[in-house]
Structure 1
Amino acid sequence: MAKVLLLNGSAKSNGCTATALQEMVKIFSEEGIDTEIINIGNKDIRGCIACGKCSELGKCVFDDLVNEVAPKFEDADGLVVGSPVYYASPNGTVLSFLDRLFYSTSFSKHLKVGAAVVSARRGGNTATFDVLNKYFSISGMPIATSTYWNQVHGFTAEDVKKDLEGLQTMRNLARNMSFMIKAFADAKEKYGIPTVESAAFTSFPDGK
């Protein structure tokens, strides 16, 4: 069975962001896709210190939730990252978590489907949305979209439940993501996966 991993970047495990993710989970269940929500926003997650130890150890040198989630990410067919808006950007804990998760894992993320979900009282959604999507786009992960930007509005979970368009956007996002996961699985069997070139690594070490 296909599986989608959902990361709740809010410090509140049952707040606005969680409400959006739970709306997606309902659709994934209908589509026959297994899910797991992991709360990361209320954890003590430090940022990457660029020590390079992950290349030796095969995991991050800081043995915390990042290393626990890594094998689940490897097994998943899709990843949803949800975050509240903090000063027109994702929660700092989310960024620290994603920096270390993506950098310390050597497995291929190619063709895993990614989706960003953003929650705000009022503004800063699209800037936050852009930041989260960059983790997917640099990793060869196709990005799932919906019928509007993947966002909900509200100050409380009850407010989000009144955001009918936002919840509709979450449901459509989950349907599109489910379709992509299933379509990619079929295409892999029929065509195989695209060749990924990796020989070139431009860093201009000669200064020219």
Structure 2
Amino acid sequence: MRTAPHGAEFDSTGQFVIGTSLDPGNAATQVLDLAQPENPVVKYSISLKESEHRSFRVTLLPQRHAMVTFDGGGELATWDLRVTPPKMLAKVHAHPGASASVAVNSEEKLAASSGVDGALIIWDIADLANIKKLHEFPGMANNGPSIRFSDDGKSIAGISVATASPDVWWWRWELTREGARAAICRQGAGTMTPKD
């Protein structure tokens, strides 16, 4: 990337780092292979439209040689990384507005997305070419929480900062056969209070 990346993070294996360049007219999300840290190699690259690049999220599926992306227009997509350039397999309109966060469970069969609309949606991505919505929690948080699956894949944790106050909201969704249920707490002034 020729300019500083906008939001860089390692994948679950620690071998790859994902970032989005902000080159005007040449924005792209790139995945760098750090197998040889002194000589990183661009493994994958996806060119982004102007409307997408300021809030583009990527999660790798290393076991399946694939990735999930979530863009500034609220579109969730799956990609095949066994070909160059990466091939989009499926895309769904997930949220009205920009992305906030996307996460995938350790088995790489479930994805979760949160948008600036404050909703959390759980997706079935067992078939990467056929994304299915499993459950939606509408209007759960200000700006959409940053989310992660637990190691056992049975729950999702999130954190969100309120826009009009210094409060921090903590979220935990337990996944069940019936869907999911949420537990919500607010942290303000050093206390943590359950929210009804």
**TM-score, scaled relative to structure 2:** 0.28
Structure number having the greater strand percentage: 2
Considering Cα pairs closer than 8 Å and 6+ residues apart, tell me whether 1 or 2 has the greater RCO: 1
Structure number having the greater helix percentage: 1
